[in-house]
Amino acid sequence: MSVTKKYKPGKIREQNSQKILQAAEVEFVKHGYKGTSMQSISDAAELPKANLHYYFTNKAKLYNAVLEDIVQRWNEVLTDITEDDDPTETLEFYIRTKVELAIRYPNASKIFATEIIQGAPNVNEYLRTDLRTWLRAKTKIIERWIEQGKMSKVDPEHLFFMIWSTTQHYADFETQILTITNKLEYEADDIERISRFLCHMILTGCGLTPTHKL
């Protein structure tokens, strides 16, 4: 007896939407915003162009959806942290996850970096509102950890800037790093080595002892 697997409409929409977003990431990195067309994204996603317009009515909305997807992917890593959490465990988890996301989704980081370099025309409102609010909330938690003597006195904002820049460097400058190190792609050992190094440098600078030694 054959069994036909039934999919809920919402599940199919979610799958198609993600497929389009993933294809769009690749195309925007390859050709930039101006050089990318809805047709090229449709071809890359292997979906009819009409499907793209069903989910995203035009290229600008699709581009903004790509940016929103990228930011959500990054920010949800620290969604639930509180001042009662352990700073070593929390920061190690954040750094390691950011390294993994940078290497697993390099196109996402490159698109965001290009957007910022160009003056953030599409994410300026987000930077001034949502991200500013997110950062303030997280810096208050770090300030409480410092007040409680859990870590050394550091500038919380610049701590986050350092984590963002060092982790995303491995995506934004992927070609340079892989060429210099004579590799075709990052391997599991590379990801672990990068994560341990960044955790050691950043955490020891905060007066914390990383879980894993270099």
**Among residues 27, 29, 53, which one has the least CA distance to residue 40?**
27
On the question of pLDDT at 3 being above 80, the answer is no
Q: Are residues 173 and 92 in the same domain?
A: yes
Q: Which of 101-105, 116-120, 151-155, 210-214 has the highest mean pLDDT?
A: 151-155
Average pLDDT on 63-77 reads 87
The CA distance from 100 to 96, in Å, is 6
Q: Tokens standing for 152?
A: 């050394």
Provide the percentage of residues in the chain whose pLDDT is more than 70. Answer: 94
Q: What's 32's domain CATH number?
A: 1.10.10.60
Supply the angle between the helices 87-104 and 188-205 in degrees, to the nearest 10: 140
Residues contacting residue 14 through CB under 8 Å, at least 6 positions apart? none
Q: Is residue 11 part of a domain?
A: yes
Q: Are residues 79 and 151 in the same domain?
A: yes
| Angle subtended at Cα 165 by Cα 159 and Cα 167, rounded to the nearest 5 degrees | 100
On the question of pLDDT at 7 being above 80, the answer is no
**pLDDT value at residue 11:** 64
Q: Are residues 180 and 139 in the same domain?
A: yes
The answer to whether 28 and 66 are in contact (CB under 8 A) is yes
Q: Are residues 75 and 53 in the same domain?
A: no
Output the pTM of the full model.
0.86
**pLDDT value at residue 93:** 95
The CA distance from 148 to 141, in Å, is 11
Average pLDDT on 186-208 reads 97
Dump pLDDT digits (tens) for 91-137: 999 999 999 999 999 999 999 999 999 999 888 988 999 899 999 99
Q: Are residues 9 and 99 in the same domain?
A: no
On the question of pLDDT at 6 being above 50, the answer is no
> What does pLDDT average to over the chain?
90
Q: Tokens standing for 163?
A: 């984590």
Q: Are residues 22 and 80 in the same domain?
A: no
Q: Three-class SS string for 17-76?
A: HHHHHHHHHHHHHHHHHHHCCHHHHHHHHCCCHHHHHHHCCCHHHHHHHHHHHHHHHHHH
Residue 44 CB neighbour total at 10 angstroms: 18
Q: Is residue 213 part of a domain?
A: no
**pLDDT value at residue 12:** 62
Domain that holds residue 25: 1-57
Q: Is residue 36 part of a domain?
A: yes
Q: Are residues 88 and 193 in the same domain?
A: yes
Give the number of domains in the chain.
2
Asked which of 11-15, 33-37, 56-60 is least confident by mean pLDDT, the reply is 11-15
Average pLDDT on 57-69 reads 89
On the question of pLDDT at 10 being above 90, the answer is no
Q: Which amino acid, one-letter code, is at 175?
A: T
Q: What's 72's domain CATH number?
A: 1.10.357.10
The CA distance from 70 to 73, in Å, is 5
Q: Are residues 132 and 188 in the same domain?
A: yes
Which has more pLDDT, 152 or 76? Answer: 152
On the question of pLDDT at 70 being above 90, the answer is no
